[in-house]
Amino acid sequence: MGGLDPASAEELRAGASLVDITPLEFPVIRNGSFLEGQITLATEKLHARCLALDDGDTRLAMVVVDSCMIPRTLCDAAKALAERTTGLAKDRILISATHTHSAPSVMNFCLGSRADPGYTAFLLPKLVRAIELAVTNLRPAEAAWASVDAGDYTHCRRWITRADAMQEDPFGERTVRAMMHPGYQSPRFVGPSGPADPWLSFLSVRTIDGSPLALLGNFSMHYFSGHAGASADYFGVFCRELAGRLAAADDNENFVGILSQGTSGDLWWADYARPKIERDIKSYASELVDLVMEAYGRANHESDISLAMAEKRFVLGRRTPDEKRLAWAREMLQGMAGRRPKNRPEVYAEQAIYLHENPTEEVVLQAIRVGELGIAAMPNEVYALTGLKVRYQSPLATTFTVSLANGAAGYIPPPEQHALGGYNTWPARTAGLEVEAEPKIVEGVLTLLEEVSGRPRRLYVEPKGAYATAVLASEPHFYWRLGELGGRHLLDATPHARHGKVVGDVAFYLSGIDDAASSAGKYASRCLHLAGGHLSGEMGQTGDQSTVTLWFWNGIPNDLQATTGVLVEAGGLTLGIAGKGEHAGRLFVSGEGLDLLHGESVIEQGRWHHVALVRDASRIRAYLDGSPEVEIDETLELSEEKGRVITVGRGFQGKVDEVAVYDRSLSVEALGTLLQQRK
C-alpha cells in the first residue's frame, strides 16, 4: 500500500483538530423535518472535526461538521478565511455535514426551516479555527485505509408501492410510486427501490511512532432519530467510542475520531423487509466501531504516501415551477400572510417561489487521492446506487464518497427514480436539481478521480456466479444479465451484441437471484425491478426452435388483479401468471388460435422462481423452477414471422433477472443442469 509515485513524495504529515460548535444561546432553529422546529438545550456537544494532510507537494484539509446541511456560501466563506490565515488553498479544503437532524439550522429554505442567523455567524469562525488547528498540528505520519462490509446496518428506506396503492404528492396529484419508510413488511409496498451501499470505509493516520492520530470513517446510513436536544447523532457516538478505544490503548488524549456521511439519501438502519427490531444508538454505533477495529488491527500503515486533489465547479439547472404551479404557490403564500409553513403544501408553495427565483445551482465536486485511496465529494444527498457507481468505476480500488460536501444541493435521484416520484423528488431547494443531474455529477467526480490518479476509470461488469457461468457455457443466442447500474440499454453478455432496451419505469441494481455458489460474494447478483416498465429487444433469427429462460420475483398477491403479470411475449406466445379466479398464481400460455393454457403449480409471492418457455417446431412447453414435470405442454401452429421481438415483464410488478434466449429448444435435462448450478 502506497502512493502512485512514492518516490516523488516527501514524508507524509498529518494533523487533526476537534472544535466545539455547540450553541451557546438557546433556543435555536432546527431543520431536518418538513416544518421548522426549535432546540432548547444541548443533549451533547457538537463538533467540527478536521484532518489535514501534507506530502510536501500537496496540502489539503477535510472538515466534517455536526450539522444537517451547510450551504455552499457558508462553506466558501470559511474556505476563503482559512486560506487567508493558513495559506491553504481554498480548493484544497473539503467541508461536509454529517447530516444529523438534531443540530441548529444554517441554511434557508431547508424545506420549511430558515437558517438561525445567530448560530450561522457563530459557526463560521469555528470552521476556520478547525482548519487552522489541524494545519498547525501537522507532524510526520503514516496512513492506512480499508473498507469492511457493514450491510447489516444499513438498508434502503425508499420502497416501491403496488400500482393500486399509489399516493398523492403535496400538489394533489397521484404520482407517488415510491416513498420512504413504508413500515415493516407492509403489504402495500412491493420492495426497495434501490440497493444499499454496505461499505464502512476509513482512512487512519498515526504518528510516525505508531500513536493513533485520527481516523476518518465513512458510512452510508442517514441518521438515528429521537434526540431531545442538540445532538451529534450516531456520528458523535461513533467518534467518542472510537476515540475511547484507540486513545485508551495508546494513552493518547489527542486522537480525533471522525465519521463522514456516505451515500445514504435512500438508506436507513431499519430493514423494512423483516419484522421490526429495536436498536439503540449506542449499541448501533459501538458495533460499527467493532467492525472498524477489526480491520484496523490488520491495516498496514505506511509513510511513503503521496497526495493529490482536484476540484470542479459548474452550474446545473433546477426543476422550476410552471405558471400553474406558480399561481397555486402564490395564492397559498398570500393566505399564509407571512407566517411559517404549517403543512406540506405550504412548505412546497414556499419552495416553488424559491426555485422560480433561483433557477440554477452552482455545484462543487472534489476528488482526493491518498496513496491508493480515492475520496469523492458531492454536495448532495446521494442515493446508494450513485455511491456504488463511483466506487465500482473509480480508477482506485478503494474509493468512498463524502456527501453533503462543500454545499447542500439537495437529493440527486438517478434519472429513473424521478419517474417513481416521492418525497426525494418533490421540487425544493433540497431536491430540486434537473433530472439529469445525477449522471452529470457522477461523470464529474469520475473524471476528477481519473485526474488525481492518472488512470482511466474501471469498466463495471456484473460479476459472474455459478449460474451465469453455466448459462454462458451453454451458448445462448443472447443473454441479458440485468445487472446494469442505470440507463436505457440492456447489455448482451454474449459476443452476439443483441442489446435490449428498458421501456417505462424501473429501478436498477436490486438484489438478484441468491447464487450461493458465487465466488464474487453476496453482492454479486443484481437485477431490475419493474414498476410499470418492461424490457424489449429483437429476437433475431431463431427459426421454429427457441428457448427463453428467466428468473422472476413476484411482488403482489396472486388474486389482486385479473392478470398478476406477463413474463414473456415472444414468437406469438404470451407466458404469464394468472390473477383472480380459479387459476390464480399459476403459469398461463396464450397465443393466436390457442386456448388459454394453465399450469398446476401455484407461484409463491416474494421469492425467486425460474421459468423456461421452450418451442420445438409446433410443440410448446413451459417449465417452472427446474422441475422435470412440465407445467404446460401443447402442440400448435405458429408463424416464424412472429418470433422477431421479445418483451419481458409487461404489467409485471416485481423483479426479473438473467434473461437468456436460445435459438434451439433445450431439453429438460439441459434446463436441469443450469438450475443445478444454483443449488
Mean pLDDT along residues 139-164 = 97
pTM, 2 dp: 0.95
pLDDT at 637: 72
Q: Indicate whether 613 pLDDT > 90.
A: yes
Buried b (16+ CB within 10 A) or exposed e, 427-440: bbbbbbbbbebbbe
Q: Which of 432, 346, 349, 386 is nearest to 424 (CA)?
A: 432
Rg value, the chain, Cα? 27
Q: Which of 281, 304, 327 is the last residue of a domain?
A: 304
pLDDT number for residue 472 = 96
Name the residue range of residue 516's domain.
Answer: 466-676
Joined together, the cell numbers standing for residue 28 give 435555536
pLDDT at 2 over 60: no
- With contact defined as beta carbons under 8 Å apart, do 547 and 608 qualify? no
* Rounded Cα–Cα distance for residues 61 and 88 (Å): 8
The better pLDDT of the pair 7, 90 is held by 90
pLDDT band at 7 (very low <50, low <70, confident <90, very high): very low
Q: Is residue 141 packed enough to be buried (19+ CB in 10 Å), middle (13-18) or exposed (0-12)?
A: buried
Domain CATH number, residue 572: 2.60.120.200
Task: Give domain status of residue 352, yes or no.
Answer: no
Domain membership flag for residue 461: no
Q: How confident is the model at residue 563 (pLDDT cuts 50, 70, 90)?
A: very high
Are the beta carbons of 423 and 159 closer than 8 angstroms?
A: no
Phi, psi of 312 (to 5 degrees): -140, 135
Q: Is 649 helix (H, G, I), strand (E, B) or coil?
A: coil
Contact 194, 412 (CB under 8 A): no
Domain count, the chain: 2
Q: Give the CA angle between residues 14, 18, 24 to the nearest 5°.
A: 160
Whether the pLDDT of residue 679 is over 60: the answer is no
542 band by pLDDT with thresholds 50, 70 and 90: confident
Phi, then psi, of 314 in degrees rounded to 5: -155, 170
Residue 311: inside a domain: no
Give the tens place of pLDDT for each residue, 501-512: 999 999 999 999
Within a domain: 416: no
Does the pLDDT at position 301 exceed 90?
yes
Q: Would you give the DSSP letter of residue 463?
A: P
pLDDT of 280 over the 90 cut: yes
Chain segment 251-278, per-residue pLDDT in tens: 557 899 999 999 999 999 999 999 999 9
Question: Is residue 298 within 8 Å of residue 255, measured between CB atoms?
Answer: no
What's the gap between Cα 276 and its chain centre? Answer: 23
The three grid cell numbers given for residue 434, joined into one nine-digit string: 434537473
Q: Where are the beta strands (DSSP E) in 248-372?
A: 256-261, 267-268, 307-317, 360-370
| Helix (H) or strand (E) segment spanning residue 63 | strand 59-65
Are the beta carbons of 45 and 285 closer than 8 angstroms?
no
Long-range contacts of range 343-348, CB-CB < 8 Å, 24 or more positions apart? 343/35, 344/34, 344/170, 345/170, 345/171, 346/112, 347/34, 347/35, 347/111, 347/112, 347/170, 347/428, 348/170, 348/171, 348/426, 348/427, 348/428
Q: Assess if residue 318 is contained within a domain.
A: no
Residues 470-479, mean pLDDT to the nearest whole number: 95
Determine the pLDDT at residue 27: 98
pLDDT at 6: 43
Q: Is residue 31 part of a domain?
A: yes
State how far Cα 212 lies from the chain centre: 32
Percent of the chain with pLDDT over 90: 89
| Residue 319 main-chain phi, psi, to 5 deg | -85, 95
Cα 272 from chain centroid (whole Å): 16
What are 355-373's pLDDT values in tens digits? 999 999 999 999 999 999 9
- Indicate the DSSP class of residue 327: H
- Residue 83 Cα distances to 88, 126, 364, angstroms: 5, 14, 17
Which cell numbers in the block locate residue 231? 445532538
Q: Is the per-residue pLDDT at 248 higher than 80?
A: no
Does residue 541 surpass a pLDDT of 50? yes
Distance CA 265, CA 193 (A): 12
Residue 87 covered by a domain: yes
Q: Tell me the sheet residues that pair with 662.
A: 547
Residue 642 has pLDDT above 70, yes or no: no
Q: What is the pLDDT of residue 466?
A: 87
DSSP single-letter state for residue 414: -
Contact 555, 605 (CB under 8 A): yes
Domain finish residue from 280, 304, 328: 304
Is 518 a domain residue?
A: yes
543 pLDDT above the threshold of 90: no
Residue-wise DSSP of 78-145: HHHHHHHHH---GGGEEEEE---SSSB--STTBTBB---HHHHHHHHHHHHHHHHHHHHT-EEEEEEE
Q: What is the pLDDT of residue 635?
A: 87
Share of the chain above pLDDT 70, in %: 95
For residue 96, which of 456, 348, 408, 453 has the smallest C-alpha distance?
Answer: 408
Task: Decide if pLDDT at 562 tops 70.
Answer: yes
Residue 518 clears pLDDT 50, i.e. is over it? no
Phi, psi of 675 (to 5 degrees): -65, -30
- Beta carbons of 629 and 503 less than 8 angstroms apart: no
Pairing of strands 199-207, 139-149: antiparallel
* Mean per-residue pLDDT of the chain: 94
Last residue in a domain, options 257, 282, 304: 304
559 closest CA partner among 182, 187, 275:
187
